[in-house]
């Protein structure tokens, strides 16, 4: 409802609107703490250099032999235990009170427009909102964009207890109400799941962590088949590569771009033969 009313009726459209589930919040708070600290302390300009150091350390660790795989992630997670909490107290309180969190960014006249709308909306609906300070807003948005890496770190650090991880980015229908529901919800094969994404365009990132020994390809097929049946599109932000089947429209686009099927045979699980034969 809020999404439709804001996009349909606001004079000043939002800058962005990011969704974070409580479980994503918790994992990012714990497993993204060191990245929070680094970015808040020295800024993002050193991220590429630090990433290069991470790659070097992981390669070095594999040559040593007795060090664990993904050494840099596990080492930095140990270091993060000594770092202070990076989340402002008001955001922490909202995490306790609510399962679903929406970061709405407005500018100029849209700030007053959004404030008036939210005050009116929550007079008649469950929930609440806070108007963030600059620091709170920056931390909230940083939490959202550290989520993917934090979930990966969680999976790496707990690998002895966990099975494979399935990652899906999906564009739901505009009128979709059930964001994160499928037939495997009550299945013991799924140990943990996460949902976060871009609220206004209904593009969501979904991560499923499976129990050990579970066939990830089979579970992923069930999830994707159900998404297609609901009218969703995937992948939403990345190319199909050779992993996903290209839809009819995309398939025709490939035919037009490359009539002889020379440049990337098999993309989108299409034909690998010359001239698409």
**Is 215 among the domain residues?**
no
Is 130 among the domain residues? yes
E strand intervals along the chain: 16-21, 100-105, 165-171, 190-198, 203-210
How many angstroms separate the Cα of 51 from the Cα of each of 35, 72, 75, 161, 180?
Answer: 11, 10, 14, 27, 32
| CATH number of residue 60's parent domain | 3.30.70.610
- Report the pLDDT value the prediction gives residue 186, as an integer from 0 to 100: 67
pLDDT at position 65 is: 78
**CB-CB neighbours of 66 under 10 Å:** 5
Q: Is the pTM of this model over 0.85?
A: yes
Which pLDDT belongs to residue 243? 81
Rounded CA-CA distance 102/275 in Å is 48
CA-angle at 160, arms to 32 and 166, nearest 5°: 65
Tell me the residue range of the domain where 139 lies.
1-160
Tell me the average confidence (pLDDT) per consecutive run of 10 residues in the chain, 277 residues long.
89 94 97 94 86 90 86 94 95 95 94 96 94 95 95 96 93 81 76 92 92 92 89 84 85 92 92 90
For residue 68, being part of any structural domain is answered with yes
| 124 occurs within a structural domain | yes
Instruction: Kindly state whether residue 169 falls inside one of the protein's structural domains.
Output: no
Query: Would you say residue 211 lies in a domain?
Result: no
- Whether 181 maps to a domain, the answer reads no
Q: How many domains does the chain have?
A: 1
Distance of CA 238 to the CA centre of its chain: 13
The answer to whether residue 168 is domain-embedded is: no
Nearest CA-CA partner of 47 in 29, 33, 35: 35
């Amino acid at each position: 409802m809020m999404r439709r009313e804001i996009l349909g009726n606001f004079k000043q459209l939002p800058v962005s609107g990011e969704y974070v589930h409580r479980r994503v919040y918790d994992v990012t708070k714990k497993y993204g703490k060191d990245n929070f600290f680094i970015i808040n302390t020295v800024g993002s300009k050193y991220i590429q250099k630090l990433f290069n150091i991470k790659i070097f350390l992981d390669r070095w660790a594999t040559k040593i032999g007795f060090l664990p795989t993904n050494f840099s992630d596990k080492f930095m997670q140990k270091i993060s235990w000594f770092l202070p909490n990076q989340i402002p107290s008001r955001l922490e309180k909202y995490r306790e009170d609510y399962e679903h969190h929406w970061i709405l960014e407005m500018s100029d006249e849209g700030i007053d427009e959004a404030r008036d709308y939210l005050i009116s909306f929550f007079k008649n609906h469950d929930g609440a909102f806070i108007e963030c300070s600059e620091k709170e807003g920056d931390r909230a948005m940083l939490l959202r964009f550290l989520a993917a890496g934090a979930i990966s770190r969680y999976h790496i650090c707990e690998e002895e207890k966990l099975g494979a991880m399935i990652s899906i980015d999906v564009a739901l229908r505009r009128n979709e109400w059930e964001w994160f529901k499928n037939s495997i919800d009550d299945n013991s094969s799924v140990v943990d799941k996460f949902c976060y994404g871009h609220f206004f365009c209904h593009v969501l990132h979904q991560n499923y962590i499976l129990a050990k020994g579970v066939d990830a390809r089979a579970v992923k097929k069930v999830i994707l088949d159900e998404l297609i049946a609901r009218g969703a599109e995937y992948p939403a932000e990345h190319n199909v590569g050779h992993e996903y089947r290209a839809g009819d429209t995309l398939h025709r686009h490939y035919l037009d771009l490359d009539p002889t099927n020379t440049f990337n045979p098999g993309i989108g699980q299409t034909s690998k033969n010359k001239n698409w034969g």
